[in-house]
Chain A
């Protein structure tokens, strides 16, 4: 009798901790969802005053004027600056990232040299943004000045080069993975028909792994769009629409980093709205990247 009741007590205790554990598991998932919802609603609520003031004009207005009494804020110069800088960075990265993907995924899969290159790429991903910015400022900027591309060496082009180096790891890693997964039988079939390796790359590997490589670039673009410190230090932080790639400019992330600290009132909510736009843009870009990847694995 006594034994059975203690058995039951233990059993119910066990069931309890079992239940708690299951709730904990689901609870953590719910927490993640709540965090995401929280982020979105926080940004929305924060940008309501600015939206009330400027409406959708905020997106295409080119004015950023914090003078008291004549305050007017528009996001267009920063949206353009962000897109130009990151797309240019992606274009610069492309030949390098593509070469690395092929090098690691097809040409030299094993051995000391590729594992060396792999470590280098990993380390590149580990360097903090602010250090890239420093290096860009002290080592790259003088070169840009010497070439006469920009008087002070700042600007979109300078930041794009640094961004390009920063996103090499992200742009190349997915590519080398999908290239190495191209079925060997396909490649061998092409070789047996007398194709050279270059022709195999062109006619077998790229058609097969192309969308995966592309997805990697899209995800790298998402990285570049949200990058802050290195860009802040190099782009020149002008609030006008850039007239060319050697002109000064500003990105959304860099603008927030520069002006958020001292902001209040209308400027503060405008900056939060810029944050919301940045969140939405990176969200869309990443979503497209994931979509391509999903199609790939399906």
Chain B
């Protein structure tokens, strides 16, 4: 009697111990996963802050010779990433101009035809587009724009590649948001005699604007750091280039260039730090919008 109680007690203790160990392991591993983020941030800030000054924002990237002389004299490398900033603004801006209208309208279409057959096909394709590797879109940008249209590398080609990349997230966030908006709102507008398109554009769309905006900003932050497709399309340029049919630089492309040039290594960190801060700000904005103006009824 006594021994059986002891045995079951020991068994219980073992079960409880297992439970405890498992819980600790979960907590430990979950937080261990957040370590790389801080290591990366620390590394970027430690090595990158020195280079960030005012000229960093308005001067173009230095050439190898300038950098070599500066490094030799133990000075900060002159120059900045202005060509990258302007390039990123133009490329990402044009990509948004292409993707946002198409994405929102397509999201509206999917939300309005949730059961249609063709809508199902479109939804499936949007899902598949989401998974296309960015480098493949770079190849597409090259074949569609670089070869036939601009006859050479161009920021337009980069924008086309990136616009396909950001399209799925805009479509899906628009669809998801609009689906949450109650049908009564639409019916109320329609019953007052408001035409269908005005109902959609002036009543339904504005009430979901925060969700859509969140999707758009997340889409932008997703493409702002993309390097691979731009290597095959925008290529890079030493000067500030505002002609969309000409090659252009972008911040991630500059990081790649600095990485490949031993004399410019010191510039990598500041350019990456700037890029990372830019993307983090976009993410935080998206989060703030989603939280502040939550779509709820």
Contacts and interface: CB of A to CB of B under 8 A. Distances in A.
Are A and B interaction partners?
yes
Interface of A: 14, 17-18, 20-22, 24-29, 31-33, 35-36, 38-39, 42-43, 46, 95-100, 102-104, 107, 117, 120-124, 126-135, 137-139, 165, 168, 196-199, 201, 219, 222, 225-229, 233, 253, 256-257, 260-261, 271-272, 275, 278-279, 282-283, 285-287, 290
B26 A36 contact: no
Contacts of A33: 121-122, 125
A128 B26 contact: no
Contacts of A123: 37, 280, 283
A85 to B, nearest CB: 13
Given A96-B32, A228-B133, A126 B43 contact: no
A261 B248 CA distance: 15
A134 B109 contact: no
B276 A29 contact: no
B195 interface: yes
B229 to A, nearest CB: 9
The residue among A20, A32, A117, A227 with the most chain B CB atoms within 10 A of its own CB is A32
Given A225-B133, A257-B228, 10 more contacts: A29-B110, A32-B126, A33-B121, A38-B140, A42-B140, A102-B26, A103-B30, A126-B221, A226-B131, A272-B143
Nearest to A116: B34
B118 interface: yes
A32 B171 contact: yes
Interface in B259-281: 259, 268-269, 272, 275-276, 279-280
Given A25-B112, A28-B106, A134-B255, A226 B227 contact: no
Majority secondary structure of chain B interface residues (helix, strand, loop or mixed): helix
The 4 closest A-B pairs by CB, nearest first: A226-B133, A128-B225, A21-B197, A99-B29
A98 to B, nearest CB: 8
Interface of B: 15-16, 18-19, 22-23, 25-34, 36-37, 39-40, 43-44, 102, 105-106, 108-110, 112, 118-119, 121-122, 125-136, 138-140, 142-144, 164, 167, 171, 195-197, 200-201, 221, 224-228, 231-232, 235, 252, 255-256, 259, 268-269, 272, 275-276, 279-280, 282-283, 287
A33 B130 CA distance: 13
A165 to B, nearest CB: 5
A263 to B, nearest CB: 10
Contacts of B105: 24-25, 27-28
Most B-side CB within 10 Å, residue of A29, A35, A233: A29
Contacts of A283: 128, 131-132
B163 to A, nearest CB: 10
A41 to B, nearest CB: 11
A200 B14 CA distance: 16
Contact of B279 (A126, A198, A279): A126
B228 A253 contact: yes
A17 B195 contact: yes
7 contacts: A36-B128, A39-B164, A99-B28, A103-B27, A104-B30, A117-B34, A124-B37
Contacts of B197: 17-18, 20-22
Contacts of B231: 257, 260-261
B23 A107 contact: yes
B24 to A, nearest CB: 11
B128 A129 contact: no
A133 B235 CA distance: 19
Nearest to B133: A226
Contacts of B255: 130-131, 134
Contacts of B224: 128
Nearest to A19: B197
Contacts of B19: 196-199
Given A31-B102, A129-B225, A131-B275, A39 B132 contact: yes
Contacts of A104: 30
Contacts of A287: 128
A102 B29 CA distance: 11
A251 to B, nearest CB: 10
B39 A196 contact: no
A278 B136 contact: yes
Most buried by B among A222, A228, A285: A228
A296 to B, nearest CB: 15
B259 A124 contact: no
